[in-house]
Amino acid sequence: MKIRRIKKQTITIFAALMITSLMLLPSIEAAPYYKGKNITVLVGFNAGGGTDTTARIFTKYFGKYIPGSPSVIVKNLPGAGGVKALNLIAEKTRPDGYTLIFQNWVPVSQLIKEPGVRFDYSDLTIVGGAQGPPFMLFARTDAVPGGIKKPADIKNADKLVYAGLRPSIPLDIFGRLSLNLLGLEYRYVTGYRGAAKVRAAIKQGEANITTHALNGYRSGVEPAMAKDGTVTPVWYFQNKDEQGNYFKSKDINDMPTFMEVYEEVKGGTPSGDLWNAFSVLRGLYSTASWFFWGPPNMNKEATKELQEGFQKMMQDPELIAESKKIAGFVFKPASTKNVQMMVDGLDDIDPDTIAYLKKFIADATK
Amino acid sequence: MIDSMLTALTMVLQWPAIGFLVLGVFIGIWLGAVPGLGGILGLIILLPFTFGMDSVSAIALLLGMFAVVTTSDTIPSVMLGVPGTGASAATILDGYPLAKKGHAGRALGAALTVSMFGGVFGALMLGLSLPLVKPIILAFGSPELFMLGILGLTMVSSISGRSIIKGLISALIGLLITMIGYSDAVSIPRYWFDLDYLLDGISIVPVALGLFALPELLELATKDVSISRVPKEGTKGGGIFDGTKDVIKNWWLALKSSAIGTYVGMLPGLGGEIVGWAAYGHAVQSAKDKSQFGEGDIRGVIAPEAANNAMKGGALIPTLGFGIPGNIGSAILLGALTIQGIRPGPEMLLEKVHITFSIVWTIVIANVLAGFLLLFWCKQVVKVAYIRGHLIVPASMLFVLMGAWMSSASIGDWVVCLSMGAIGYIMKNGGWPRPPLLLAMVLGPLLENSFQLSIQTYDNFTWLIRPVVMVIIALIGIVLFLSAKGIVKTKKSKSGPSQGEGSQKNPAVSLPFTVLLLVAFIYAAIASLKWPKFAWEFPFVISFPAILLLLFAFYKDTREYFGERKEFPDLRSYLERCTQTIDLGNSLKFFSWVLLMITVSLLIGQLITVPLFIGIYLKTWGKYSWKFSIVYAACSWLVLYGFYDKILHVFWHQPWLF
């Protein structure tokens, strides 16, 4: 009897416990997805470079804006111009939202199907995108007999030698496309191993014209070479607004846009295959140029929290101040919807344009 | 001027700057002493911490660390024959033989003293040269760099080993390895066999560790000897202060090597790896008695160690003066300075001159501090030379494998490390010198790149008549002449190196390797034909002389083979003798062991596998007790988890099983 009573008591207690725990369950479920977790952000380049530095600025603030305050860690996985890390995210990473990638935008590699490219942007999960510093072109002042007095003087250059990194890199593509549009004669030298080597070549006079991202120009070229007049900024490449019209950046007032120089040198607006390729590519770069991506079909809850966290982070005044100090530029966030439209746009590009681009890149080293 | 020098000194000595400097020095010593880590990694880890600091403290932390990495990286080079960082690769050539003879203390003493000297020299030259060097920097474009690279390769190929032919082929192998992956100029991947890993090319770290470390660890494991083959009692004149005395005796060489370090390090594109070799080459060429080089000549330690520390100051000259970093390390430092709002350019000598001087002082203080710290501590390090091999192998293996893994966090790094270990074992036993291969891997990209840039920029070969290019060509001529003279002399006296790198004579090992290389180079030449011009030129130009030299080596090997074969009654007894000399059975066992570990890592991950294998190794090979093996394995797990995972954030292999 006694035993039975004890048993009964045990069952009652057990049942009570069960009920209490069931009642507690919803509150456990409501704990943030990222509570006590780590987020690893892959960077497909070596530490210390432009992408890495930018990634580290963002990751420093990101955790603060994700519910549960996960710690966000950068891991470098350099290779094949960032393609290796993108492949890994596209193919091998678990879609649990604990591994993301921070990368600059390389749609051309996907469009022309470079060897080794296996990712497809439209499969990746968007976390957030931001518009970074624009590309700009500068030249040695002595590239033009008598010196470059105003940017349009570049048309009088007699022997331009363009210092390039690799024909399929956006910097080189935009640089070459713009020079071709102006009909300038130049020698394209490819294979400089990084921006520092390009600067050395310009400083030495081995080459006399090249393209940089604005932040690299501001920190690495302006103080050492532009101040003393060795080089002159020639133009920057402006972006298109949502209606597809080019607009001037409010942050840059010491150099004209490419379109302005074109108008002064050639008059009117350009047309033809070359212009078409240029225009399509400019469109691709107008929404954003730096991204956090997740693997395909990433966990819905994680995706939502990351996307919201990203937008909130981009408003952080400290982040804005820091990126201004380090990159000399404030990154402007793009909405998830716009990034989605941009990615979808990749599929709509005319095959002829892609073929033209492919040939244009191959021709660089002929 | 003196005013701002003193202001800068007080700024560096002020709290918290001096505290950060000391912290940086300790971190630098650790990063240099562990193979595969190095100063660049240190810069990357420390960089984010400096964002909030004042400029002088940030410089103190970063440069304090960066300046002394090349002081402590000598320790593994001397003790294990493994380069701590690429900059001390040349030190192995004589440093490790010295340790084997029981003179580890002397080698380290000399290296530390001269590192201190070189570091201070480089820093002072940075202060003095900044206003003067513009014309030198501007005179070194792509054509000049190309010729410098050729000069470096000529020097190293001509100073190592019994056979100049094998030395040259070794260099060509290194060059061919650097052709793997994307070419710089065009987006065409070469020799990648559809393996993603190869798209990036093969990084030098797993190659260096495999080529040099694995064969040495193999010997320690299979023979269970201590690093010093001579017992402690039998080593006279091998103490730390004997090394310091050696430096004083060779002060002229130390000074010249420091100057080489500073001024070669200053040229954009030439890193620490190259200055070490350049100084070593100079030491050999300028020495009257060359017979001991490669077998433990202290001058072979003094020269590269002076140069690699002096280089740090030198590389900062163009970085601060014109924003042109001399190498990757300076590039990251430049980034750090930019974040601090310090911009390179003429103002570093005008309104920001105190910053320049605080950089100079930081390097000086860091070098002196690290030098003295290690000189005092070195006595303990030297004791490692007398420990049983089985105790050293597991810990070294862990650092070697992790060092290789750090280069791209891919299982391919381990496969390369293991394969290069096998190749290193064959080369070591077959009389093929390994250093030219390593240097060629450093120089390969630079050579191809500067060659193509020269051809593209100047019309065809007009760049060959640029004045500096012609001076370097003349130097190459002198090097070739001197080494030809030296070889004739050695051959006459028959007193050539008998133990050093590339001195073994073993045609039964060498011959199959020659045939293998011949096939590889013929394939390389044929495969290159389908690529566009920029991708095709260089591999083809390498393969052609390689095939000719290999045919010649084949002829010599066959002749040696039949010469030796005659002394044995039948083929079997001959081959038995050969496999005994190279300890083939045990070596195969060792390599299979490493291979098995890699395979198991693929399945269940490295964090479990590596400690597991370390425990089993100690129990089965070392015959230690279970308790000891488990404690050792647990410690290695702690290093993997605590240091590599939590601090370095290593990207581990994702295990296939879970």
Encode pLDDT of B117-140 as tens digits.
999 999 988 888 877 777 777 778
Q: Is the pLDDT of residue A94 over 90?
A: no
pLDDT at B285: 80
Q: Quick check: is B519 in a domain? A: no
Question: H or E segment at B555?
Answer: helix B533-565
Question: H or E segment at B105?
Answer: helix B104-129
Q: What is the rounded distance in angstroms from the CA atom of residue B388 to the CA atom of residue B391?
A: 6
> Is the dihedral angle over the CA atoms A23, A25, A26, A28 positive or is it negative?
positive
Residues in A 124-153 with any Cβ partner in B closer than 8 A: none
B142 CB neighbours in chain A (<8 A) are 201, 206
Q: How far is B587 from chain A (nearest CA, A)?
A: 33
A201 and B142 within 8 Å at the Cβ level: the answer is yes
pLDDT per position as a tens digit, B62-114: 999 999 998 998 998 888 888 878 788 889 889 999 988 889 899 999 999 99
Mean pLDDT, residues B503-531 taken together? 90
pLDDT per position as a tens digit, A155-173: 999 889 999 988 888 899 9
> In 3-state terms, what secondary structure has residue A102?
strand
Residues in A 40-79 with any Cβ partner in B closer than 8 A: 40, 42, 47-48, 52-53, 56, 60, 73-79
Closest CA in chain B for residue A117? B196
Q: Quick check: is B425 in a domain? A: yes
Task: Delineate the domains of chain A, giving CATH numbers in brackets.
Answer: 38-132+288-355 (3.40.190.150), 135-284 (3.40.190.10)
Q: Quick check: is B481 in a domain? A: yes
pLDDT at B86: 78
User: Tokens 């590339």 — which residue?
Assistant: B502
Q: How far is B636 from chain A (nearest CA, A)?
A: 22
In this structure, the number of other CB atoms found within 10 A of the CB of residue B509 comes to 24
- Nearest one of A243, A60, A57, A186 to A133, comparing CA atoms: A57
A365 and B534 within 8 Å at the Cβ level: the answer is yes
B456 and A200 within 8 Å at the Cβ level: the answer is no
Q: How far is B283 from chain A (nearest CA, A)?
A: 31
Question: H or E segment at A292?
Answer: strand A290-294
pLDDT at B531: 85
Closest CA in chain B for residue A49? B332
A191 and B449 within 8 Å at the Cβ level: the answer is yes
B649 CB neighbours in chain A (<8 A) are 40, 73-75
If you average pLDDT over each of A27-36, A185-194, A232-241, B30-39, which comes out highest?
A: A232-241
- Which residues form the domain of B18? 2-226+239-504
| Number of separate domains in chain B | 1
Selected residue of A189, A217, A325 to mutate for chain B interface (largest B Cβ count, 10 A): A189
Q: What is the rounded distance in angstroms from the CA atom of residue B601 to the CA atom of residue B644?
A: 16
B187 and A228 within 8 Å at the Cβ level: the answer is no
Mean pLDDT, residues B388-417 taken together? 87
Q: What is the rounded distance in angstroms from the CA atom of residue B112 to the CA atom of residue B72?
A: 8
pLDDT band at B382 (very low <50, low <70, confident <90, very high): confident
Rg value, chain A, Cα? 26
Q: What is the rounded distance in angstroms from the CA atom of residue A137 to the CA atom of residue A179?
A: 10
The pLDDT mean for chain A works out to: 86
Q: Quick check: is B628 in a domain? A: no
pLDDT at A129: 93
pLDDT per position as a tens digit, A143-157: 999 999 999 999 999
pLDDT at B438: 83
Q: Quick check: is B386 in a domain? A: yes
CA distances from B298 to B237, B301, B371, B428 (A): 12, 5, 18, 22
A80 touches chain B (CB under 8 A): yes
pLDDT at B166: 87
Which of A168, A197, A204 shows the shortest C-beta gap to B187? A168
User: What single letter denotes the amino acid at residue B186?
Assistant: V
Q: Is the pLDDT of residue A20 over 70?
A: no
A115 and B331 within 8 Å at the Cβ level: the answer is no
A228 touches chain B (CB under 8 A): yes
B331 CB neighbours in chain A (<8 A) are 48, 194, 196
User: From start to end of B208-280, where are the E strands?
Assistant: none
B655/B442: higher pLDDT: B655
pLDDT at A323: 78
Q: Is the pTM of this model over 0.80?
A: no
Question: Which of A230-234, A308-312, B256-260, B440-444 has the lowest average pLDDT?
Answer: B440-444
If you average pLDDT over each of A76-80, B44-48, B414-418, B531-535, which comes out highest?
A: B414-418
pLDDT at B268: 66
Q: What is the rounded distance in angstroms from the CA atom of residue B391 to the CA atom of residue A335?
A: 58
A221 touches chain B (CB under 8 A): yes
A48 and B328 within 8 Å at the Cβ level: the answer is yes
Q: Quick check: is B623 in a domain? A: no
Q: Quick check: is B562 in a domain? A: no
Mean pLDDT, residues B326-344 taken together? 73
Bridge partners (DSSP) of residue A333 are A130
pLDDT at B85: 80
Percent of chain B with pLDDT over 90: 31
pLDDT band at B2 (very low <50, low <70, confident <90, very high): confident
**ipTM score here?**
0.71
Which of A81, A207, A220 shows the shortest C-beta gap to B323? A220
B449 and A361 within 8 Å at the Cβ level: the answer is no
pLDDT per position as a tens digit, A242-274: 788 888 888 788 999 999 999 999 988 888 889
A87 touches chain B (CB under 8 A): yes
pLDDT band at B160 (very low <50, low <70, confident <90, very high): low
A330 touches chain B (CB under 8 A): no
Percent of chain A with pLDDT over 90: 43
pLDDT per position as a tens digit, B293-332: 888 899 999 999 999 999 988 888 877 877 666 667 777 7
Question: Which of A177-191, B207-221, B236-250, B488-502 has the lowest average pLDDT?
Answer: B488-502
The pLDDT mean for chain B works out to: 85
Closest CA in chain A for residue B656? A92
Mean pLDDT, residues A318-328 taken together? 79
> In 3-state terms, what secondary structure has residue B103?
coil
Q: What is the rounded distance in angstroms from the CA atom of residue B235 to the CA atom of residue B656?
A: 51
A326 CB neighbours in chain B (<8 A) are 338-339
User: From start to end of B150-261, where are the E strands?
Assistant: 181-182, 189-190
Which of A166, A194, A227 shows the shortest C-beta gap to B187? A166
For helices B606-620 and B584-604, what crossing angle results, to 10°? Answer: 150
pLDDT at A52: 80
Q: Quick check: is B625 in a domain? A: no
Alpha helices in B384-493 (DSSP H): 389-408, 411-430, 435-457, 467-493
